[in-house]
Amino acid sequence: MLYFSTDNNSPKVDFKEATIKGQAPDKGLYFPEKIPALDKNFIDHIHQYSKEEIAFKVIQPYVGDVIPNAELARIVAETINFDFPLIKVDEAIFSLELFHGPTLAFKDVGARFMSRCLGYFVKDSNKKIIVLVATSGDTGGAVANGFYNVDGVDVVILYPSGKVSKVQELQLTTLGKNIRALEIDGTFDDCQQMVKQAFADEVLNKKLFLTSANSINVARWLPQQFYYFFAYQQWKDKNNPPVISVPSGNFGNICAGLLAFRTGLPVSHFVAACNANNVITEYLQSGDYVPKKSIATLSNAMDVGNPSNFVRILELFDKEFQSLKNVMSSYSFSDDETKNILKEVYQNKNYLLDPHGAVGYVALKKYLDQHPHHRGIFLETAHPVKFYDVVEPIIHAKVPVPDVVNNLLALKKESIKMNAEYESLKEYLLTH
């Protein structure tokens, strides 16, 4: 499998080079040259396969021969060695819980897969790789955990000061060793722009070996397909595939779901669930893509005003607006609506959502209200404890605290404060 740049001004590369480079030299995103077609027999008998067999079958065509099959099988097994349960909330709505990994967030899958692939690629190299990543919340913790103590790799994480939850911040600032956190006086968009400038800086890249662990990296983006297949494996009514609602910020997650759909996964419709950052919601109404400055919300991991991965979604649909609209809808919701649905579901359904899952739930409910013959799944992307300071005042109760979080709360945050200017980041990278 080869990958081309969405800007079409860079040479095609294999999975190894796409993973190591992160972003194409022309600043486009790498995209697979062809979309694999999974065989119908596999889909029809998916209940007979283990999750490891499913994940290997899904990812192998994208990796090709750059990782031996036995090694890839090991990487896949380590990536998904936790549960992905599909939980019934009511007769029409199910929650796919993606928070049972080590950092209690869906991004554990992509981060664990990428870290192991990159570790394999650099094991015989004498040059240290620097993984540079911007986070609006969960990416930082997942990447920090996934790459912790990986030989030959240093990680530098940029996060917006005061705009991530306490648990999220501790997950990315307390590990030490090869993990460093830069606390930026700005927004996630500022962090992401600084990272993009670093990758585009020829002088910096001649001196340092930089790569990205954001969802722009194919090794972070592609394995997110796994849990869509795990959801379908658990879906009882195979004659009526689910509608799937995805809390969406940088649009890597829903893009992976759409890719899975294009390869043959049965899905009735996708819903991009957005908070006040509604660029894509408005795009699907008007056909005009107008990036905005991001707005801080309760569902902070979705606070993105110019989602990087949307260019891949357009590529999946050959940039045909109507083709995309036929498959994906989008709704956006305010913080007040998020609070109301979180409280309502807790009281009436006895199910506790996190703020991102709440947006996913209410978006699915809105779609199903308009299409009552369907049933669906929303992605519960993070454990509510990661946002206990938001959730507890809403439900007037304590969120159950897993042991991993209790241990975390006893640790001391270590970060380096920095202004939102690229030159400050460049100086830090060159001197540290």
The residue count for the chain: 432
DSSP labels for 405-429?
Answer: HHHHHTSPP--EEEES-HHHHHHHH
Residue 392: how many other CB atoms lie within 10 Å: 14
Please confirm, yes or no, whether 325 is among the known catalytic residues: no
Q: Compute the C-alpha angle 291/162/176, nearest 5°.
A: 110
User: For the sheet containing 209-212, what is the strand order?
Assistant: 209-212, 129-134, 153-160, 179-185, 416-419
* CA dist 329 → 269, 273, 368 (Å): 8, 9, 12
Maximal C-alpha separation, the chain: 60
Among residues 124, 126, 173, 167, which one has the least CA distance to residue 148? 173
Reading the block at residue 355, the tokens are 């703020």
Q: Which of 16, 21, 51, 107 is catalytic?
A: 107
CA 188/CA 273 separation, integer angstroms: 19
- The DSSP annotation for 107-143 comes to HHHHHHHHHHHHHHHHTT-SS-EEEEEE-SSHHHHHH
Please report, as a single letter, which amino acid is at residue 7: D
Active site residues: 107
